[in-house]
Structure 1
Amino acid sequence: MRKGVKSETVKSQVQLEKAKSGKLAGPSFQDLILELQKFWADRDCVLQQPYDVEVGAGTMHPETFLRVLGPEPYRVAYVQPSRRPADGRYGENPNRLYKHLQLQVILKPPPADIQNLYLQSIQAIGIQLSEHDIRFEEDNWESPTLGAWGIGWQVLLDGLEITQFTYFQQCGGIDLDPVSVELTYGLDRIAAYLQNVDNVFDLRWSRDRRYGEVRLAEEQQFSAYSFDYANAEITRKLFDLHEREANALLEAFGQASEEEKRRFPVLAAYDQCLKCSHLFNVLDSRGVISVTERATLIGRVRQVACRIAKAYLAQHELASAPPQEKQAEAGA
């Protein structure tokens, strides 16, 4: 199952009519984001920024993939542009996008009233619970490339999936203790519902700009690149190079002294892993990989991701412990 809110259908005609009958106010796209950010900031979430490397889902941001590891409590919220090359349609389809926007929330450990908090969050953006059918349908999640899985639900608003609600059980092949809860809001979908539009490019982005004015050219050009122009041979070589760099860094980490490990660029290795994941998606969109090769490439990315998770935890444990010199002084 693919992570996150699916981008295939923003709204069916039946769901559109339900939205219109609900008489929703329809905040602008950026006001929708600001309201959700404020809601979670008021509940002690760090407001992080989108990660500046291509990712296929908000889960791949280090603030999720790495922060859910280890025992330390953490709360974070951020918007993440998520690239899915195979979903691009040159900006000609009203509902399918090369890049869609998610708002990601991680709460570690999960609060006891998390479901109520979530419902309050959608009320904050103008969805009146008494006027709509809100359902939590079982929809467990797995990410083969991240070595991660969780149990959870898709949240349906009048039959339309708007959020993925997941309790992470494992990440990078490591069992999580405590588990974290992840909320992934499909911003494009929610905004289309609230504004009663059936074409995402007609969304009001701000008071005087439409979604299409802001993002249509990007959709057209990156769809063309992913389907028509990306050189398969070069893309494969780039995949190999980024994989090689990630593995070289991880080998160096294993051989480093404890002091060197404290500030070793494990995060840089993770960037290389993310590059591999994106390049795999580009190859997939070009239709140049077989079923067998697809499984092999996914396995290669997963192997690197799992090694990074272990290195991150090892580094984190060292960083949490006092330097050896201070330990010796304390024992003297």
Structure 2
Amino acid sequence: MDSQEIALRLREFWEAEGCPAIPSYGSIPAGGLTFDVFFGILAPDPWCACQVVSIVDPSVALYDDDPLRPIIDSCLQVTRQDPSGDLRKRFIESLRVLEIDPRDRDVRFVAHGYDLSHLAARAAGWRVLIDGIEVGSLFYVRQLGGIDLKFAPIVVEYFLRRMEFAVGIEGEKMPTERGRQIASYVLEHANPERIGSFLSLHADECEQALGGGLYYQAYDHVLASVYLLSVLTARDGLSAKEYATRTARIADLARGCARAYVEATDA
């Protein structure tokens, strides 16, 4: 059972729970949310869906050499705005479709605070470990883009590469070429001063798009900014004060996207 089969079985499980599968999204930076999720949970009506997405985090491993912490991690992300039921119990039940019997495995939910401050969000939940391997997460989003959410969603994530280990497949141990090049760029070639300039340009373009009511285009610049900030952080190109300032700036842009969307949908 490879990662594609794992994703298929989990999608079928959550579709039966009322969360339709939507087209896969390319890649997002760690700590980001896809367009569908960001704007979906800000919508006036409850929203739910499951989607495969690649999460890029250049800070997790030198040269992408740890198969359990890959720079590019394929993830099935389930978003559900349904306050009923115990989502941890549903996660346990979803493992059974992968032929994982929780009675025979050490499945743990470890409380964790999720830092989504760059999206002006508040979130908290659990990391999910199977036999000591972090295979997923569940977290509630209470606020997004500075807006208190009427239907607080829970986001369920399955890290597909790591799930292969959990189901008894060792998976690909060698780093991907793309992951290796991301690591090489971040650690050896990225120019912190120039990237700082890119961040300023993305902020300007985001505000330009928001001025025209183009919140989708504006959010594109938010995601780009989150990624560039992670590059600077991995490159040790920021002081603690500058990191806080940059994060607050991106959060302001995310607030602008959220406000513009809510105003447009309420009109």
Normalising by the residue count of structure 2, what TM-score does the alignment of the two structures yield?
0.91
Cα distance in 2 for residues equivalent to 1:161 and 1:96:
9
Give the percent of matched residue pairs that are identical in Structure 1 and Structure 2.
Answer: 27
Q: After TM superposition, list the pairs within 5 Å mapping 1:14-33 onto structure 2.
A: 27-33=1-7
Q: Give CA-to-partner distance per residue, 1:298-323, whole Å, 9 cap, x none.
A: 111111011111111111112xxxxx
Cα distance in 2 for residues equivalent to 1:111 and 1:247:
38
Cα distance in 2 for residues equivalent to 1:219 and 1:173:
33
Is residue 2:212 matched to residue 1:231? no
Q: Which runs of 4+ in 1 moved over 4 A?
A: none
Counterpart secondary structure, 2:165: helix
Cα distance in 1 for residues equivalent to 2:102 and 2:28:
35
Q: What is the aligned counterpart of 1:42 among 16, 19, 22?
A: 16
Q: What is the aligned counterpart of 2:62 among 86, 89, 92?
A: 89
Is residue 2:266 matched to residue 1:317? yes
Cα distance in 1 for residues equivalent to 2:88 and 2:230:
33
Structure with the greater alpha carbon radius of gyration: 1
Q: Per-residue deviation at 1:273?
A: 0.9
Cα distance in 1 for residues equivalent to 2:239 and 2:164:
37
Cα distance in 2 for residues equivalent to 1:44 and 1:165:
18
Q: Per-residue deviation at 1:46?
A: 2.5
Amino acid at match of 1:33: A
Answer whether contact 2:116 2:123 (CA < 8 A) is retained: no
Residue aligning to 1:187: 160
Answer whether contact 1:146 1:171 (CA < 8 A) is retained: yes
Is residue 2:36 matched to residue 1:63? yes
Residue aligning to 1:246: 206
Q: Can you give the 5+ residue segments of structure 1 that lack an aligned partner in the other structure?
A: 1-26, 203-211, 254-264, 319-332
Residue aligning to 1:24: none
Q: Per-residue deviation at 1:115?
A: 3.3
Q: Give CA-to-partner distance per residue, 1:268-324, whole Å, 9 cap, x none.
A: 000011111111111222222111111111111111011111111111112xxxxxx
Are the structure 2 counterparts of residues 239 and 159 from structure 1 closer, same or farther at C-alpha, using a change threshold of 3 Å?
same
Are the structure 2 counterparts of residues 91 and 249 from structure 1 closer, same or farther at C-alpha, using a change threshold of 3 Å?
closer
Are the structure 2 counterparts of residues 133 and 301 from structure 1 closer, same or farther at C-alpha, using a change threshold of 3 Å?
same
Answer whether contact 2:27 2:54 (CA < 8 A) is retained: no
Q: Per-residue deviation at 1:79?
A: 1.3
Q: Per-residue deviation at 1:73?
A: 1.7
Answer whether contact 1:53 1:271 (CA < 8 A) is retained: no
